[in-house]
Amino acid sequence: MPGSNLRYALITPARNEADLIEGTLRAVISQTVRPTRWVVVSDGSTDGTDDLVRKYAAQHDWIELLRMPERRDRQFAAKAHAFNAGYARLENVDFDIVGNLDADITFPPDYFEFLLAKFEAEPRLGVAGTPFIEDFDRPDHHTYAHSAANLNHVSGACQMFRRECFEQVGGYVPVRGGAIDWIAVTTARMKGWQTRTFVEKVC
């Protein structure tokens, strides 16, 4: 593994992301360091999300589709439930880092290699990520592109956790009102872990 001895797994909660998830699928497949396992959790999708994931899973045995039952209500806790269902699928998988990856983002081919190197270099780094931007042509236009930015926060678009840290914080807590990403990062810091957004790359 270039630059790191760490292995990582990804979990992607997805609901009706047929318009965008293929970009995410291609971005992960193009990585210089691929995940040991990637569980895409379809949270009751009713569009073509499942078919797209199945197409790529048929070509790559490290991609798995987990289908959740359809539901009528919409609440922020659903993302935590979907992620936790995906995490349970990793019980017999060897990994050091686990990522919560949204289903509608893309990133350069060395994105995860870069983040793994940060975890390798900092043993107390518990959560890491990069800024999220809307336009790759303007990579400096993000919420962290100023001197007063809080680099201890990690965007929920892609949060990478050291496994020990993730299990110490109790994973994602289902909160109906949302903010599950913020709660997980804040709890990690409360337990003595470092959390960091690295601005050298963006997703």
Per-residue pLDDT of 158-170, as tens digits, reads 999 999 999 999 9
DSSP at 16 = S
- 192 pLDDT above the threshold of 90: yes
Tokens, residue 80? 């935590």
Task: Please tell me whether residue 169 adopts helix, strand or coil conformation.
Answer: coil
CA distance linking residue 46 with residue 50, whole number of Å:
8
Phi, psi of 111 (to 5 degrees): -60, -55
Q: In the prediction, which pLDDT does 172 show?
A: 86
List Cβ neighbours of 47 (8 Å cut-off, separation of 6 or more).
Answer: 16, 17, 18
- In single-letter form, the type of residue at position 193 comes to W
194-197 and 125-129: which strand pairing?
A: parallel
CA angle 77/16/175 to nearest 5° reads 5
Q: How far is CA 170 from the centre of its chain?
A: 16
| Residue 111 and residue 26 in contact, taking contact as beta carbons nearer than 8 Å | no
Provide the pLDDT for residue 17: 86
pTM of the shown model: 0.90
What's the pLDDT at 37?
A: 98
Give the separation between CA 81 and CA 50, rounded to whole angstroms: 18
Stretch 57-64: mean pLDDT:
97
Residue with the larger pLDDT of the pair 142 and 161: 161
Alpha-carbon gap, residue 152 to 130, rounded angstroms = 11
